[in-house]
Amino acid sequence: MTDTKRGITAEDLYQICYPSEPQLSPDGTKAVFVETKMDELRQYQSHIYLYSLEDNSKTALTSGPFRDSFPRWSPDGSKLCFVSNRSGKAQLWHLDVNETEFKQITNGPNGISSPVWSPDGRSIAFAAFLRTGQTLTEGTEELTEEATPKSITVDKMKYKSDDSGFVYEKNKQVAVVNIETGSVTQLTEGTYDHAVGSWSPDGKWLAITANRSVNPDIQHEIDIYLVPVEGGEWKKITNSDGTYAMPTFSKDGKKLAFIGSVADQHLYATMKKIWVAELDAGTVQCLTADWDVHVGDATIGDVRSPGHPNPGAVWTTDGQGMYVIASEKGSSGIYLVHLDGSVTKVVGGERNVYGFTFDNEKNSLVMAVSDSLTPGDLFHVDLNTETEKRLTDVNGELFQEIRLSTPEEIWYEGAEGWNIQGWILKPVGFQEGNTYPAILQIHGGPHSMYGHTFFHEFQLLAAQGYVVVYTNPRGSYGYGERFVQACCGDYGGNDYKDLMHAVDYVCQFDYVDETRLGVAGGSYGGFMTNWIIGQGNRFKAAVTDRSICNWISFYGVSDIGYYFSAEEIQANPFENPEKMWHHSPLRLVANMETPLLIMHGERDYRCPIEQAEQLYMTLRHRGKAPVSFIRFPGANHEMSRSGDPEQRVLRLQYTVDWFNQYV
Ligand SMILES: CC(=O)N[C@@H](C)C(=O)N[C@@H](C)C(=O)O
Per the CB < 8 A criterion, the answer to whether 7 and 21 are in contact is: no
Q: In this predicted model, what pLDDT tens digit does every residue of 81-126 receive, in sequence order?
A: 999 999 999 999 998 877 778 899 999 888 999 999 999 999 999 9
**Cα(382)–Cα(166) distance, integer angstroms:** 46
Specify the length of the chain in residues: 663
Q: Which ligand 1 atom sits nearest the alpha carbon of residue 558?
A: 6
Residue 250 neighbours by CB under 8 Å, 6+ apart: 256, 257, 315, 319
Per the CB < 8 A criterion, the answer to whether 567 and 558 are in contact is: no
Question: Residue 142 has what pLDDT?
Answer: 53
Out of 161, 523, 543, 560, mutate this one to test ligand 1's pocket (max ligand atoms within 8 Å of CB): namely: 523
Among candidates 354, 355, 531, 532, which has minimal Cα distance to 449? 354
Question: Residue 170 has what pLDDT?
Answer: 81
CA-CA distances (angstroms) from residue 255 to 119, 207, 236, 247, 323?
Answer: 16, 11, 14, 10, 15
Among candidates 249, 238, 255, which has minimal Cα distance to 198? 249
Among candidates 388, 364, 363, which has minimal Cα distance to 377? 388
Per the CB < 8 A criterion, the answer to whether 14 and 652 are in contact is: no
Is pLDDT of 596 > 60? Answer: yes
Spacing, Cα 444 to ligand 1 middle (Å): 5
Question: Residue 2 has what pLDDT?
Answer: 67
Is pLDDT of 145 > 80? Answer: no
List, chain by chain if needed, residues with CB within 6 Å of any ligand 1 atom.
268, 444-445, 448, 522-524, 546, 606-607, 637
Question: Residue 138 has what pLDDT?
Answer: 56
**Cα(538)–Cα(504) distance, integer angstroms:** 11
523 is catalytic: yes
Q: Could you tell me the pLDDT band of residue 266, with boundaries at 50, 70 and 90? A: confident
Residue 119 neighbours by CB under 8 Å, 6+ apart: 75, 199, 200, 201, 202, 203
Spacing, Cα 446 to ligand 1 middle (Å): 6
Spacing, Cα 603 to ligand 1 middle (Å): 15
**Cα(54)–Cα(173) distance, integer angstroms:** 40
Residue 291 neighbours by CB under 8 Å, 6+ apart: 273, 337, 341, 343
Q: Which ligand 1 atom sits nearest the alpha carbon of residue 548?
A: 6
Q: In this predicted model, what pLDDT tens digit does every residue of 425-436 receive, in sequence order?
A: 999 999 999 999
Amino acid present at 116:
V
Question: With pLDDT > 90 as the criterion, what percentage of the chain qualifies?
Answer: 89
Minimum CA distance residue for ligand 1 atom 14 = 523
Tell me which of 113, 114, 476, 523 is the catalytic residue: 523
The answer to the question of residue 501 being in a domain is: yes
Out of 606, 638, 640, 651, mutate this one to test ligand 1's pocket (max ligand atoms within 8 Å of CB): namely: 606
Q: Could you tell me the pLDDT band of residue 147, with boundaries at 50, 70 and 90? A: low
* Residue 352 burial (10 A CB sphere; 0-12, 13-18, 19+): buried
The answer to the question of residue 442 being in a domain is: yes
**Cα(287)–Cα(46) distance, integer angstroms:** 37
The answer to the question of residue 132 being in a domain is: no
The answer to the question of residue 329 being in a domain is: no
**Cα(552)–Cα(323) distance, integer angstroms:** 42
Q: In this predicted model, what pLDDT tens digit does every residue of 497-540 receive, in sequence order?
A: 999 999 999 999 999 999 999 999 999 999 999 999 999 999 99
Is pLDDT of 637 > 70? Answer: yes
Question: Residue 531 has what pLDDT?
Answer: 99
DSSP assignment letter at 606 = S
Q: In this predicted model, what pLDDT tens digit does every residue of 403-442 receive, in sequence order?
A: 999 999 999 999 999 999 999 999 999 999 999 999 999 9
Helix/strand/coil for 552? helix
Q: Could you tell me the pLDDT band of residue 550, with boundaries at 50, 70 and 90? A: very high
**Cα(106)–Cα(216) distance, integer angstroms:** 29
Tell me which of 443, 637, 640, 642 is the catalytic residue: 637
Question: Residue 264 has what pLDDT?
Answer: 67
Q: Could you tell me the pLDDT band of residue 51, with boundaries at 50, 70 and 90? A: very high
CA-CA distances (angstroms) from residue 415 to 206, 288, 500, 535, 584?
Answer: 49, 29, 9, 17, 21
183 is catalytic: no
Question: Residue 196 has what pLDDT?
Answer: 97
Among candidates 514, 515, 544, which has minimal Cα distance to 531? 544
The answer to the question of residue 391 being in a domain is: no
Q: How far is CA 229 from the centre of its chain?
A: 31
Out of 477, 524, 544, 555, mutate this one to test ligand 1's pocket (max ligand atoms within 8 Å of CB): namely: 524
**Cα(459)–Cα(303) distance, integer angstroms:** 12
The answer to the question of residue 609 being in a domain is: yes
Question: What does the CA dihedral 551, 553, 555, 556 come to, rounded to 10 degrees?
Answer: -170
Q: Could you tell me the pLDDT band of residue 308, with boundaries at 50, 70 and 90? A: low
Q: How far is CA 148 from the centre of its chain?
A: 31
Question: Residue 75 has what pLDDT?
Answer: 97
Spacing, Cα 636 to ligand 1 middle (Å): 12
Domain region containing 615: 399-549+584-662
| One-letter-per-residue 3-state SS of 487-522 | CCCCCCCHHHHHHHHHHHHHHCCCCEEEEEEEEEEE
Q: Which ligand 1 atom sits nearest the alpha carbon of residue 523?
A: 8
CATH code, domain carrying 512: 3.40.50.1820
Per the CB < 8 A criterion, the answer to whether 62 and 45 are in contact is: no
Among candidates 164, 103, 110, which has minimal Cα distance to 140? 110
Q: Specify the number of domains making up the chain.
A: 1
Minimum CA distance residue for ligand 1 atom 12 = 444
The answer to the question of residue 494 being in a domain is: yes
| One-letter-per-residue 3-state SS of 472-488 | CCCCCCCCCHHHHHCCC
**Cα(167)–Cα(641) distance, integer angstroms:** 22
DSSP readout, 320-379? SEEEEEEEETTEEEEEEEETTS-EEEEE-SSSEEEEEEE-TTSSEEEEEEEETTEEEEEE
CA-CA distances (angstroms) from residue 59 to 35, 62, 66, 79, 370?
Answer: 11, 9, 17, 16, 22
Question: Residue 309 has what pLDDT?
Answer: 67
CA angle 358–362–367, rounded 5-degree value: 30
Q: If you average pLDDT over residues 3-29, what whole number do you get?
A: 96
Count of CB atoms within 10 A of residue 215's CB?
A: 9
* Residue 482 burial (10 A CB sphere; 0-12, 13-18, 19+): exposed
**Cα(54)–Cα(43) distance, integer angstroms:** 33
**Cα(169)–Cα(153) distance, integer angstroms:** 10
Q: How far is CA 454 from the centre of its chain?
A: 14
* Residue 472 burial (10 A CB sphere; 0-12, 13-18, 19+): buried
Q: Which ligand 1 atom sits nearest the alpha carbon of residue 607?
A: 6
Q: In this predicted model, what pLDDT tens digit does every residue of 461-476 receive, in sequence order?
A: 999 999 999 999 999 9
What is the radius of gyration, based on Cα positions, of the chain? Answer: 25
Question: Residue 3 has what pLDDT?
Answer: 76
The answer to the question of residue 420 being in a domain is: yes
Question: Residue 163 has what pLDDT?
Answer: 84
Q: If you average pLDDT over residues 184-204, what whole number do you get?
A: 96
